[in-house]
């Protein structure tokens, strides 16, 4: 067992160490630089601000400072005219949270407003308490963000890559399941939720990549890895279109007339296309000659099966079935375009890479 593993077994993770360091340093700065009478608020602000990513830390810090400022203002205005008792506490907390809710502040800010209004009401008579609480919180939040940015900044890329790889496998599995359902003639509208879940998974992966982009934006020491996340963002743009095509295929299969003998060529076209979807993210994230060759062969196989399906489409007698198969073949062809990176059309929604 390595020394690092021993630390982890004891619970001394990087997050724990950073939080403790931020708390101690915030106390030191507040007590020596600002000569604060309440340095524990600086430490508390730091503890609550340190998050897994730099982007989350910045957001948390902004929420906390905003909540403290609003809470202090409300408590001073309302509490100045009223004595401190259970009715006053209820009134001040209610006014502070109601005001924050009315102007549509973030829920985390609203909860912080409630805490600040209560504390300022209780200790507001102490000299300089309200101002100290704001300054202390700013000290703690700023120091927490700086420590999270400079001391071994969190790298969000591995987590984003895992999510992209999972999405690739999941999309491939959904298309394979659609092929099987069509083969046994068991697909119905009640089977559509797992296709909808694929769309939700695509959105979750999109958000994970967005967070990675934002985190690297505020992590100067990781700026050289920005191109890696931009590459992931391009993959997600393609998968958004791939999942859209899979949803179109699922809908067409539900509407397709029942057949005594399902189209064998189309089943093979779906399965071979699903293999391409499974390989594309692996090849782009863990690029190797073997994966490139495997994807190349899979694409050739998928194109062959799609061509065979197109060649035998004339054997379909039903006009409705012919229309549905034509639509699904178009969707399969577009999926291969995305796998190859050949689609260059502009989407309405673009990832921010500023």
Give the H or E element holding residue 208: helix 193-217
Domain ranges in the chain are: 3-150, 157-340
Give dist(CA 23, CA 41) in Å, integer.
10
**Residue 20, by phi and psi: left (phi above 0), alpha (psi -120 to 50) or beta?**
alpha
Structure token digits, residue 168:
């690739």
Give residue 122's pLDDT band: very low, low, confident or very high (50, 70, 90): confident
Residue in 164, 178, 351, 294 with CA at minimum distance from that of residue 239: 164
Buried b (16+ CB within 10 A) or exposed e, 215-239: bbbbbeebeeebebbeebbebbbbb
Q: Where are the beta strands (DSSP E) in 126-274?
A: none
pLDDT in tens, 98-120: 888 888 888 888 888 888 887 77
Q: Which structure tokens are listed for 150?
A: 């400079």
Per residue in 232-285, pLDDT (tens digit) is 888 998 999 999 999 999 888 887 766 657 788 889 999 999 999 999 999 888
Q: Nearest-CA neighbor of 262 among 194, 181, 330?
A: 181
Burial of 30 (0-12, 13-18, 19+ CB in 10 A): buried
- Average pLDDT, rounded, for the chain: 81
What is the model's pTM?
Answer: 0.70
DSSP state letter for 36? -
What is the largest distance, in Å, between two alpha-carbon atoms of the chain?
89
Q: How confident is the model at residue 11 (pLDDT cuts 50, 70, 90)?
A: confident
Topology given in CATH for the domain delimited by 157-340: Methane Monooxygenase Hydroxylase; Chain G, domain 1 (1.20.58)
């Amino acid at each position: 067992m390595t020394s690092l593993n021993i630390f982890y077994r004891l619970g001394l993770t990087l997050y724990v160490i950073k939080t403790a360091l931020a708390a101690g340093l915030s106390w030191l700065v507040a007590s020596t630089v600002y000569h604060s009478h309440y340095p524990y608020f600086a430490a508390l602000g730091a503890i609550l601000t340190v998050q897994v990513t730099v982007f989350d830390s910045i957001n948390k810090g902004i929420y906390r400072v905003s909540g403290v400022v609003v809470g202090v203002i409300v408590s001073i205005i309302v509490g100045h005219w009223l004595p401190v008792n259970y009715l006053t506490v209820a009134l001040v907390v209610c006014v502070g949270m109601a005001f924050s809710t009315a102007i549509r502040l973030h829920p985390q800010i609203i909860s912080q407003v409630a805490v600040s209004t209560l504390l300022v009401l209780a200790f507001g008579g102490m000299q300089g308490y309200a101002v100290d609480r704001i300054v202390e919180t700013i000290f703690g939040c700023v120091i927490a963000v700086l420590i999270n940015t400079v001391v071994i900044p969190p790298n969000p890329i591995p987590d984003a890559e895992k999510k992209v790889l999972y999405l690739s496998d999941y999309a491939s599995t959904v298309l394979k399941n659609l092929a099987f359902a069509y083969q046994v003639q068991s697909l119905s509208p009640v089977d559509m939720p797992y296709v909808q879940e694929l769309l939700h998974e695509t959105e979750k992966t999109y958000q994970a990549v967005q967070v990675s982009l934002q985190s690297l934006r505020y992590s100067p020491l990781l700026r050289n890895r920005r191109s890696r996340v931009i590459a992931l963002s391009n993959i997600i743009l393609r998968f958004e279109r791939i999942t859209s095509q899979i949803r179109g295929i699922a809908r067409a299969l539900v509407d397709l007339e029942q057949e005594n003998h399902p189209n064998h060529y189309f089943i093979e076209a779906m399965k071979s296309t699903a293999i391409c979807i499974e390989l594309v993210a692996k090849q782009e994230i863990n690029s190797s000659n073997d994966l490139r060759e495997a994807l190349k062969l899979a694409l050739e196989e998928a194109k062959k099966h799609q061509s065979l399906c197109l060649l035998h489409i004339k054997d379909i007698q039903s006009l409705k079935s012919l229309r549905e198969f034509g639509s699904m073949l178009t969707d399969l062809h577009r999926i291969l375009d995305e796998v190859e990176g050949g689609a260059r059309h502009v989407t309405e929604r673009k990832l921010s890479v500023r």
